Structures are given as structure tokens and as C-alpha cells.
Chains A and B, each alone.
Chain A
């Protein structure tokens, strides 16, 4: 009947939605813009330009951190933290270098095994946090030591192997599109987006915003947290699998896992996720991770001494965090500064 009226109303709603969408995605858009600018500068300064190989290498390096940062994002959204993502990543790497070998069937079984191990690690984290009621920081600090121990038991010395065809497929690029980018997109489209739109995903955001309020509203808090930590394990294991495809070996080195854990926190903050929970998303973390990695690449093309890399990464991180302080200028009541 009133179709024109309806349509106008719907259009009005939609423009309102767009404004809301922009406000909600501001962090992601800023991170994406920074990444695009940095990568364009990198491409322009690169003597070869942005050839397929250059893009592929950058994508592979960035995708590793991106997957770990995605993993970190899920618990952080619930207001928690997962200090074991780096170690799950490493454990998956060591496991993959042992079981993802042999013929196609064995390889496929191995991949399933690696991902299942990641899910199991994440589930253990979730169970300890939810039913053990330990602080996420402490619980995952403890499990990270255990996962490192298991990784070390699997691979006392660096080594191992992986099915060459599978590894090649995961690390090359098809028609200029790196497989690692496809992997990230697939993880976002088939896992992250359905998760975010599901009851449990919504519940995760609610828990992160205010756990008492979520509880009073009947949100399934326990299941939301369990699901977040478990999926974090899956993403970290995907990262570990990709690492094995790139290096063709497994290695249990404490510094490696620790570095990925800490960088994942940095990447998600750059990507606009709040460490207090309830705000942000995995897409921002992906761009945050690529920003972190491109800083290193930029230093190389501009011939800056590689020993300066940690200094630059640190300064970029501090700068990004300090940008968030601009909100202080808008605070009218000084009391809002304090919690």
C-alpha cells in the first residue's frame, strides 16, 4: 500500500545506519587508511615496484601476525585477555611440522588435527577462565607455559617437514592474489562474520561492555566466553599452520611465542579494539597487524639500520596509543578521566 512511504522510511533508516556504521568502524577505517598509505609508500620506494613477489612476501609475513591478532581480539572483546595465543601458534607450528606430511589423505587429517589441537587449547583456556573463575591474565599466563612445554616436547630441536604441495599452495599467489590473503578473508567471512552476528558473538560484545548488565539481561555469559577463547585457539592454530607452510619446519622458542603474543595486543589496539572490551573487531586487528609488519618493511626500503626496527615499532605503538588520548580533549567533566 504505502510503498513509497515505506521506502522513504527505509532509506532514512539506512542513512542513519550508515552514520552509525561509520562511527562504529572508525578504528578499522583509520587502521586501513594508515596501512594503505604505508604500503603505497613502500611500493613507491621499492625499486621493483609492487611486483607479485613483493606483495606475496609482505602478505605472508603480515598474515601470520594478522591471524594471531584475530585470535587475541576475541577474548579481548569479552573484556579478557589471552596471553597464550603466541604459544598456541607455536604449538600448532610444532604439531604441523610433525603430522601434516605424507599423502593427501594424511595431510588433510594432519590439518584437521592441528586445528583441533588449537581448538582444544582454546577450550582449556575458556574452561579455566569461565568455570575456574581465574583472572584471564593469570589463567592464560599459566596455560602459555604449559603449551610451550608441550611444543618443546614435540620439537626439542628445530626441524620437521610439511607436505610440499600443500605448503606451496598456501604461500604462493594466484593471479596476483596471495593465498595467505585468501586465508585471512576466508577466516573473516566464514568464521568471524557468522560469529559476530550470532547470539554468542553479540553476547561477547555485551559481556565486554558490562558483565553485570549482560548478566541481568540474561546473556549467556559462560558460553560466550567459552566460545571466544575456543575460537581464539582456532585462529592461532591457523596461524601456526601457515607459519609451517612458510618455514617448512617447526621450532619451539619461547621468545617467538612471546613476541607474537605481545605484537598481537599491539596490532589489535592499532586496529581500534579497546583493551577494556566491548569495542572493536577482528577486521581492524588484521589491518593493525599489517601496519605493524609494514613498519619493518618501510625501514628496509628506506635503508634505515635494521637494528632501529624495535625502536620504530615502539614509537609507532606509543604514537598510536597516544592518539587515543585525543578523546581527553572532549571530556567535559574531569571525573570522567577516572574509573
Chain B
């Protein structure tokens, strides 16, 4: 008999509940929407967000934040597609994916050094790194015409189906998620990550080199963001400069909606999965419902994005009111 059943917290349950509600709303509005094909497609879209969110979640669990996500995604994508221009064709095709991810690791390394050793606030240091990564990428594209086409392997990784019916990015996310769950719940490093989020000083006094743990956390974040960039570049068959810009806020929102405390120390990966699917589904259902049509009928013409943004914000507020409130000061 298992010692304890896996505990599912309120946040995760609420998020999964909202996913079911959203699917029901979608089915009512458009009968026949709910099919295996639709769900697989949504999971495919979610796997890009999920891959990126995995690393950010580790950083947030440590009580830090990584705002360099957008241009680390861009860097991952652009360096992976640009590898053939840098290493030559034969080597470039082989190295494209590892090189893209490695660039993300380097960004994470600098972030980690700044936050752990220079003790700079992560919010501002990673913001600076985001600008530096942007600068390097703009310089890279401005200096000479770079290769922006994805290699065959990248396209296969993002667009193919190794197991029929299951898109490859979803497999990547599942593998990454399984590894992260193992890391967070079954390894010492995982325990350190939670402990640092609660009180770094105590971790240090317990004889743990907490700075090294923070460094590893930021490197994982950079690697995940860059891997997300590689997948996105493979999916779109090309990389472009601002490809990571729309991801920062949804990633943070997904993690937080999944019940991870932004101040660190608490949160489950299952919750993050729920948050990522919830955010993805929310965007999709809104484009199915097309609320702008109802308004257009009463003579108010509004762009579809208005509703997407307002509903996005309201959902975050309402859901966080349900389970993300802080304790009253006493």
C-alpha cells in the first residue's frame, strides 16, 4: 500500500476544473469542437509554452525570477538556425540543436553568476541580460544576412510525429516534465531548490553551497527557454527576432495559475502543467467564441485582441483571488 497518495493541492484542482469548464463552454458554443484532434492540437501548442515554463518555474521556486526569457527564446531559435552559417554546412546541421540550447545555457550562466555571486536582484539582472541578448541578436542579424531557415532535424522535431498521433513537441514536453518532476521530488538538488525558496540563509547554514544551486537553476531556465526557441523555430520553419516576446507574460501567468508561489518555496509541476494547458485553452476558446462578433452586431467594432487581453487579465485576477491570496499582516 502506498505510504501516501499523491496530494493534489487546491490550485491544481481549480486549474484543472477551469480547463474542464472551458472545454464545456467551447462545446456548447461550437458543437463538435471537442475531438481528439482538437485536444492533441491544443496540447501541441501548449508544449511550446510548457517547455519554456519548466525552467522559469524552477527559478521562481527559488524565489527569483527570470525576465530574460523572451530573448533567450529568440537566441535559441536564431542560433540554432544560424549554426550552419557559423560552423559551415556539415557541422552546422549536426550541431544546430545543441548549439541553440547551449547559447541559452550561457545566458543562464551569466544570470546565475550575477544573481548568486554578485547578489544582484534577479529581476533587474535578468532584465539587463535580456537587453544584452537582444543586442547580440540584433547585431548578429544586422552584421550579415544570417541563415534563418530551420534544419531538417529541427523541422522533424517540431512538426513530425515519432509516435503516430502524438506530435513530437508534446513528447519533448513529456520527457522534460518527467525529468523535472524527478528532479524536484526525488533528488537532493530538487529539495535544495524548494528550500532556497523558503529561506536561503537556512540552506547556507545547513552546509549547502546555495549559490551553486541558484546557478544551476538559472542555467536550466536558459536551457529550457532556448529549447523552446529551437522548437518554435522548427515549427515555423524559420527564426525571427522578436519570436520570444509574446511568451514572457503567459509563462509567468501559467506558473502562477498552477499554484506556484511567486515568492518561491511552494509549487508543484503538475500545477504548472495545468496552468500551461489552461492558458493555451483560454486563448483557443476565445478565438472559437469570437466575442467581437456579438459586439459588432450591436454596432461596436472591436479587435479580437481586446477580448483576449481583458479576459486573460480577469481570469488571472479571479483565479488568484480563489487560491493565491496572501496572509493578512499580523
Contact = CB atoms under 8 A, between A and B. Distances in A.
B305 A275 contact: no
A308 B131 CA distance: 10
A132 B136 contact: no
A324 B124 CA distance: 12
A166 interface: no
Interface residues of A, number: 55
Contacts of B296: none
A321 B316 CA distance: 31
Interface in A201-230: 211-212, 215, 221
Contacts of A141: 249, 252-253, 316
Of the four ranges (under 10, 10 to 19, 20 to 34, 35 or more), the interface on chain B belongs to: 35 or more
Contacts of A18: none
B297 interface: no
5 contacts: A141-B249, A152-B303, A211-B329, A266-B128, A321-B124
A255 B243 CA distance: 12
Interface stretch (A39-47, A96-104, A142-150): A142-150
Nearest to A143: B313
B266 interface: no
A145 B314 CA distance: 9
Contacts of A9: none
Identify whether the interface residues of B are mostly helix, strand, loop, or mixed. Answer: helix
Nearest to B201: A338
Contacts of B41: none
A269 B124 contact: yes
Contacts of A312: 135
Contact of B124 (A143, A221, A265, A311): A265
Nearest to A325: B118
A128 interface: yes
B245 interface: yes
Contact of A338 (B131, B136, B200): B200
Nearest to B324: A134
Given A141-B253, A266-B124, A338 B210 contact: yes
Contact of B128 (A212, A307, A314): A314
Contacts of A309: 135
Given A134-B324, A149-B307, A149-B309, A265 B123 contact: yes
A267 to B, nearest CB: 11
